[in-house]
Structures are given as C-alpha cells and as structure tokens.
Amino acid sequence: MGTSSKKVIINKEYNPYILNSVVKRYWYWPLFFVFIFTCFAYVFLRYTKAIFESSSLIQIENTDQAKQIIDVENINTKNNVSSEIELLKSQLLFEKAIDKLNMNVSLFSKGKILTEELYLLSTFNVQPYSLNDSSLCNIPIFVKFENNKVNLTYTFNGVKFSSSGKLNSNIKNKHFNIIIKSSNIKEFQIASDANKLYFTFNEKGSLIERLLPGLIINPINLDAKTIQISYQSYNPVLCNDIVRVVTEAFFEYDENLKKQSSDNILFFIESQLDSLSIELKLSKDSLADFQRNSNLPDPEMAGSKLNGDLYKYNDELNTCKDELATLKLVSSKLKAEPNRLEIYKILPEMLGKSYESALSNQIEDLHQILEKKEDLLFKLKPENPEIKNINERIDNKIYSIKRSMSVIQERLTDNIRNLQLKIDLLDGEYFQLPAKKMEFNRLKSLQELNEKYYSLLTEKKAQYAISNAGYAPSSRVLSKPFVPEIPVSPNRKIIYISFFLFGLLIGIGLIIYKYLTYNEINSMDDLKKLLPDNVSFLGGVPTVKKNMEFSQIVVNESSKSRIAEAMRSIRSNLSFVNENAKVIAISSSVSGEGKTFVAINLAGIIALSGKKTIIVDLDLRKPKVHLAFDVKNDNGMSNLIIHHSSLDECIQHSKVKNLDFITAGEVPPNPSELILSDSFKNILEVLKSRYDCIIVDNPPIGLVSDGIPVMASADIPIYIFKANYSKRIFAERVIELFEVQQMKSLNVILNGVDSGNRRYGYGYGYGYGYGYGQGYYDDDEDGKKRRRRKKKSVY
C-alpha cells in the first residue's frame, strides 16, 4: 500500500503564501533564463554574418516637348514603369552591371566558423593574366604568406597542386598566370596567420547566380515613377558598388535602346526616300525623253479624264499593295512565343495605315499581357497555373490579331484585284488613244505618284526628326547609394531585447506553472483544509539552522531555543489530548518528512520535564534512531522480538537525563510479522511498567501498512507532515486511516514551517530518504530525485 504523488492539482484560487513560497524557491529562474538566453543572443550575434544593404532612388521621366508643336507622340514615350522594373530585375541588365566591376577573381577569408568575402577590403589582391583551364573556376586556391613568399595550394580533379612565388611577382603554372599584390605586407602577414585566405576564379554564370538574389527592386510611387534599387550582401562595399553599377547600366541601356529605336525608324524612312528619289528621277527623265523624242510638250485634254481615273486607281493600288506588304511583315513577327520588344516595334510600322486603329489597340493589349507574363515569371515557375493561364491569353490574343489581319488581308487582296481589273480596263481604253498621248499620260501619272509619296515621306521624316529632337529622357537619381556602416540583419538591439524577454517570460512562466501546479502543503491552514475536522493539530516545528547528516536531538542544547519552545508547546498540547498517555506512536506518509527528528526531540523535551522516557525504533527496514544517538545497531528491537536478546541488553541510555532508547536492530527479512507479533506487544507492556512515556518511531504508513496497528493502539498517534515537502494528496492517507482503518483519533504536527512565519508556528528543514534494497521506498517523482542526490539537511 503506498501513497501516490503523481496526481496534479491546479491551484484555482490566489494564495499569497503559496506564491511567496514558490517565488522564494524559484526566484532565480527568470535571472537564470535571462542569462542563458542573453548568452545565446551573444553567441548568435557573434557567429551570424551581418547583412548590409545599400540603396538608391531613381525617377523615370520622359519629356516630349515636340508633341506640343506637331501633335505627334514619340514612340519611346511610356506611361508606366513596369517594363523598367522588369528591366532592372533582369539577368541581362545585371550581367552588364557586373561587367563594370571586373570581378574576375573573388577573395575570401575563412575563419574557424565563418567565411567572409573580402571584396575591396582584403590585405591582398590577385591580378589574373591568364587562366588556361576554365574548369578551375570556383575552386578555392589557398594563399599563405610565409618567409616573404606566397604559397598557393589547391585541389583540382582530385589532385593537390601547389605553387609559390614572390609577392608582387608573376606566379605561373600550367593552370594560370597571376600576380599576388599587397600594399601592406605586415597586415597581409597578420591576416595570413590569423585565418585561411583563398581566392577563386569566377565563372560569369555562377557569379551572376550567386550575386543576383541580393538585388531588390521596389516601386516606391507609381504616379511619381520612382523606383528603389537595393542590394543586400555580407560585404558593405560590394552592396554600394552593385547598386551604383546597376543604376549606371540601367540608364545606359535605356538610353541606347531608345536611341536604337529612333535610329531604326529614321533609317527606314531614309531608305524609302532614297528608293523613291531614284524612282522619281527615272520617271522625270522618262517623261522628258518621251516629250523630247515625240515632240509632245502638252497632250490634248481629251484623255484627261481617263488619265485622272488611271492615276486614281494606280494610287489606290499602290496604297493597297503597301498596306498588304506591311500587314505581311507584321504577321511574320507574330510568333508562337513572341518577344515583347519585337511586338512593341510593330507599332511604328503601322503608322498611317488604314487598319492602324483596328490593330494597334490589339497589339498594345498583347504587349501589356507579355509584360505581365515577364512580371510573373520572376515570382512563379513556368508550370504554374497562372503562367499557363496568361500563356492561353497570349495565344488567344495572337489568334484574334491574326484573324483580324486575315480579314484585312482578304479585303486588301479583293481591293487590289478590283483595282487591277479597273486599271486593265483603262489600259485597254488607252490603246484606243494615240500611242504618244497614252505614253505621255502614263509617264506623267507615274511621275506625279512618285512625287506624292516622296513628299509624304519627307514630311514624315521632318515630323519624326522634330519629335525625336524634342524628346529627352530625364530620368535621374534622387538618392545616391552609400557604403552602409550598420547592418540591416541581424539587428543587435532587437535580438538582445527579444532573447532577454524570451528568457524572462520562460522564467516567469515556469514560476507561474509551479504556482498553478503547486502540490505541497504550504501552511497549517492548507493542512486544515485538507484534513477531516476530527483531526487534532498539535503545532509546528521550527527550522533549526544546523548542518546534520542525520536527525539529532537538539532540544537539550538551549532551553530557550525555538525548537525547545515548539516541543514544549506540543508536549503541553499532548496533555490536553490524553493526560495519562503512555504510548505515543509517530509516523508519516513517506520518508523525508522528519518523523524521526520529531520523535527524538519530543522524547527529549518530555524527558527534560522529569518523566522517564524511552524511544523505540520500530522502523525495522530503514532505522535511523541509532544514527541520531551515534551508536551501533547490532542489538535492538528485531533481536528482542525474536528473543535473541534481553530487554536490558537492548535498552541504551542517552546523554539526556531520563531518556533511553532501543534501536531497530538488525534488518529482518519479515519486519511486518515482527511488528504484528505478540512478542512485541509483550515487550510494549513491560516498557509501560518501567517508563512514564514510550515514543514509538513507526515506519511511514504511507508506504507500508505494518505500522498502522501500532498507531491505532497507541494512546496518542501522531502523523507528521512537512511544509513545502509533503504532497497534498498525502492527506488522503489520513482520511483513509479514519474511514478504512477505523482509527478513532489522530494528531498532526506540521514540520518544516518557515520560522519567520509566526502565523503557523515553527518548522524545520530536514532530509530523510529510503533507498532501494530490502524494505520499502518512496515511488513518487520527488522521492526519486531525492534518492538520486545526497544532500545535507539544514536545520
């Protein structure tokens, strides 16, 4: 039979005494966890590489002053910045930017834990002249400076290579030709001794792949067309330089792209003018030659109407053919996977065409969908449903454009066919006119037609030249990049505060948890609430600050000590319980609650009052009385019960007058049978005749039941609880003694009450444990912990 302490009881009411006890016991937990987590924060910050960020703010702006003069918008004018943002994010622009930094070689410093890139912050640099094998790219080549010589070591294709040479001189081998330079040899030597220095030849693709993720492009204000270019890296100088070269590369690329677009349009117009000028000259020469040879300076007006109709139909025919040719050119550029820039270049080629309004809006819509696809591809994979959906929209739009173009092409073809039929009819009518007049009219119409187209293209050229001259990109840098001094991550202040608060919360949380799950008897009031009303409370035992390995009698040391006063108070209360009591049996629920200490000191205080008193150690499994009196346990109750020794041989005298004791004797294999035997009862009767008071140190009845009959038959049974040690569930054992064991009365002493808390009397701290081996043991969790450690009791 045992008492379990594993049941968790939640304190639902506020109890300041329990809280005070928990805080006193665990006050250091918040400080401990704060210290631990502060150390964690220090280690985290010490071995976490700082990330720096540099940024610049640019504004995209285009000024088209010519639009106010000729009412023609420049083809390069853009109303949104989405395409510019995508250009800034693109690998194409980033490659152009990195080319400006000349990062053919990267330098590194490898410590015991961290590896740092030494971009422009190194004590040495590498000047590469040639790399004979590109497979050596990205392979670390370690640099060691010893005895004014530079030693290089690296492993390539599983083979270890080494080379050496002087500082600032060529170092050649079959793989490369380089020079190691250093402006400060002393610092280079210190850095070489402190860490492992190495460098790598960079392969452009892998370098871009390594650096590009640090680039961040954020639109700040779409209405103001402002964009922030940021870069994050472990090297602050590298952050600044990358932001700077990306900004420069963007402006250069944007300017070149717009210039190329303008040049292409002007080149197209000029090539058309060159071709028409030749045709116009030939037509004029042909007409002049015909007039000169045929002596026909001015034909009759008879054929003027026929000539006008022919001119009109030829004009319409040429216009339709030109529009059909342009339509086929546009159709050829609509591929299955169209390029956004090529689609955008289609628009100027449709200027002035009859179907410009019908197709330009659709092509502009296609251009916007392609821009949106490029935006999504930076965040999503090609197999993403959203990408597939936008691809379907692109295909549908292309199909719609091609269908419209097919209708237009059919219309133009019909027009050409009809016009050609009309021209053929007019040509037939011309054959009825005199040959000279007909030829004159033909040459004249051809000349006028060429003059018209030449004038039209000349006008277009002038308009676009004015538009291009009036258009100027006015993009500018609003804030320049800088070399950051403070890292953006990790934030030391936030890390320390977070870890501090986290440690503090854990410590306080554990204290709150300990309070809520506090399962120990804290005070006499707690004990009274748990025990039945018919239990008598004799008082409390104070704390005695004295280092003792085992229980000892201390009431004889000072008659005015707190322990002596407490024991006299308990002795007085015993007289109220039973004035003629002879046998006092003392027990507890489990070991460690101090029943032996209370037994010997209560016996001592009774003996000091003049009564002849004897202590009987009935704890045959784990006897302690002999330790309290510092005697051997060779001869005691176990020997006496089985008649191996006489009573006089077992009775021993203490240093306290009137106080004798009988130890437990040798540990028997059947302690329960001995305690319940008639022999023990006879011995007890004999002792009653010799002594005024008999104090029986019973085994803990919360662990074993063989002490219950002794408690039940005693004149005054006493049950010991210990403050801040005994579990509340132990009170159920007392209730069981009344309800199951039919005990008529029981008296309680609270041991271990804080001596400063006079509300509840006195207490003392005392350690007592039952181990394994033969006999009983405490199987609660606290008992296990107590068995795992040996500690000195503080009284």
pLDDT band at 335 (very low <50, low <70, confident <90, very high): low
pLDDT digit string (tens) for 450-459? Answer: 778 777 777 7
Cis-peptide into 128, omega within 30 deg: no
Q: Is the pLDDT of residue 790 over 60?
A: no
pLDDT band at 759 (very low <50, low <70, confident <90, very high): very low
Round to whole Å and give the CA distance between 453 and 279.
Answer: 11
* DSSP per-residue letters across 639-703: HHHTTSS-HHHH-EE-SSTTEEEE---SPPS-HHHHHTSHHHHHHHHHHHHH-SEEEEEPPPTTT
The more confident residue out of 718 and 738 is 718
Percentage above 90 pLDDT, the chain: 18
The helix (run of H) or strand (run of E) holding residue 315 is helix 304-333
594 Ramachandran zone, left/alpha/beta (phi>0; psi -120 to 50): left
pLDDT digit string (tens) for 505-517? Answer: 999 999 888 888 8
Could you give the dihedral angle defined by the CA atoms of residues 273, 275, 279 and 280, in that order, rounded to the nearest 10 degrees?
Answer: 20
Round to whole Å and give the CA distance between 194 and 215.
Answer: 32
CA 486 from centroid of its chain's CA atoms: 21
Q: Which pairing describes strands 716-722 and 583-588: parallel, antiparallel, or unpaired?
A: parallel
pLDDT of residue 702: 74
Round to whole Å and give the CA distance between 774 and 770.
Answer: 10
Percentage above 70 pLDDT, the chain: 81
pLDDT digit string (tens) for 284-323? Answer: 777 777 666 655 555 555 456 667 777 888 888 888 888 7
Kindly report which listed range (122-136, 425-439, 682-696) carries the lowest average pLDDT score: 425-439
Q: Is the pLDDT of residue 671 over 50?
A: yes
pLDDT of residue 298: 58
Strand, helix or coil for residue 184: coil
CA 92 from centroid of its chain's CA atoms: 32
Cα–Cα distance list, 397 to 56, 82, 234, 390 (Å): 38, 20, 46, 10
Q: Is the pLDDT of residue 780 over 50?
A: no
What are the tokens at 756?
Answer: 């400063």
Q: Is the pLDDT of residue 630 over 90?
A: no
What are the tokens at 381?
Answer: 């994979």
Q: What is the DSSP letter of 212?
A: G
Q: Is the pLDDT of residue 785 over 60?
A: no
Q: Is the pLDDT of residue 248 over 70?
A: yes
Question: Torsions phi, psi of 266, nearest 5?
Answer: -65, -40
Q: Which pairing describes strands 52-59 and 226-233: parallel, antiparallel, or unpaired?
A: antiparallel
Round to whole Å and give the CA distance between 554 and 600.
Answer: 9
CA 604 from centroid of its chain's CA atoms: 66
Question: Whole-number mean pLDDT of the chain?
Answer: 79
Single out the residue of 671, 263, 245 nearest to residue 461, CA to CA. 263
The pLDDT of 134-161, averaged and rounded, is 90
The more confident residue out of 721 and 544 is 721
pLDDT band at 62 (very low <50, low <70, confident <90, very high): low
pLDDT digit string (tens) for 495-506? Answer: 999 999 999 999
pLDDT of residue 342: 67
Question: Torsions phi, psi of 383, nearest 5?
Answer: -85, 5
Where would I find the beta strands (DSSP E) of 67-223? 105-110, 115-117, 125-131, 141-146, 149-156, 159-166, 170-172, 176-181, 196-201, 215-221
Could you give the dihedral angle defined by the CA atoms of residues 601, 606, 607 and 611, in that order, rounded to the nearest 10 degrees?
Answer: -160
Round to whole Å and give the CA distance between 664 and 667.
Answer: 8
In SS3 terms, 60-104 reads as CCEEECCHHHHCCCCCCCCCCCHHHHHHHHCHHHHHHHHHHHCCC
The more confident residue out of 551 and 116 is 116
pLDDT of residue 297: 55
What are the tokens at 396?
Answer: 């549908």
The HSE-up count of residue 124 (CA atoms within 13 Å, CB side) is 29
Round to whole Å and give the CA distance between 426 and 404.
Answer: 33
Per the document, the length of the chain is: 795
Q: What is the DSSP letter of 727?
A: B
The more confident residue out of 115 and 247 is 247
Residue at 650: amino acid letter: C
Round to whole Å and give the CA distance between 315 and 705.
Answer: 126
pLDDT digit string (tens) for 411-446? Answer: 888 888 888 888 877 776 656 555 666 667 677 777
Strand, helix or coil for residue 21: helix
Query: Which burial class, exposed, middle or buried, applies to 129 when counting CB atoms under 10 A from its CB (0-12, 13-18, 19+)?
Result: exposed
pLDDT of residue 1: 43
Round to whole Å and give the CA distance between 269 and 48.
Answer: 62
CA 767 from centroid of its chain's CA atoms: 47
Kindly report which listed range (58-67, 256-265, 403-412, 532-541) carries the lowest average pLDDT score: 58-67
What are the tokens at 671?
Answer: 């302690």
The pLDDT of 377-382, averaged and rounded, is 76
In angstroms, the first-to-last Cα distance of the chain is 31
Q: Is the pLDDT of residue 160 over 90?
A: yes
pLDDT digit string (tens) for 573-613? Answer: 988 888 888 999 998 888 888 889 999 999 999 999 899 99
Round to whole Å and give the CA distance between 238 and 469.
Answer: 39
What are the tokens at 579?
Answer: 């004035």
The pLDDT of 238-264, averaged and rounded, is 80
Q: Are 161 and 204 in contact (CB under 8 A)?
A: no
pLDDT of residue 412: 84
In the numeric block, the tokens 């258009």 are attached to 471
Radius of gyration of the chain (CA): 53
Q: Are 535 and 746 in contact (CB under 8 A)?
A: yes
The more confident residue out of 152 and 329 is 152
Q: Are 684 and 583 in contact (CB under 8 A)?
A: yes
Q: Is the pLDDT of residue 338 over 50?
A: yes
Q: Which residues 6+ apart lie within 8 Å of 550 measured at CB?
A: 624, 627, 628
In the numeric block, the tokens 């205080």 are attached to 605
Q: Which residues 6+ apart lie within 8 Å of 385 measured at CB?
A: none
The more confident residue out of 579 and 255 is 579
Across 175-179, 731-735, 737-741, 761-765, the highest mean pLDDT is recorded for: 175-179
The more confident residue out of 556 and 695 is 695
pLDDT of residue 294: 58
Cis-peptide into 490, omega within 30 deg: yes
pLDDT of residue 79: 53
Round to whole Å and give the CA distance between 510 and 437.
Answer: 116
pLDDT of residue 687: 92
Round to whole Å and give the CA distance between 577 and 560.
Answer: 25
Round to whole Å and give the CA distance between 714 and 582.
Answer: 8
pLDDT of residue 395: 80
Sign of CA dihedral 248, 253, 259, 262: negative
pLDDT of residue 784: 38
Kindly report which listed range (22-26, 478-482, 660-664, 771-775) carries the lowest average pLDDT score: 771-775
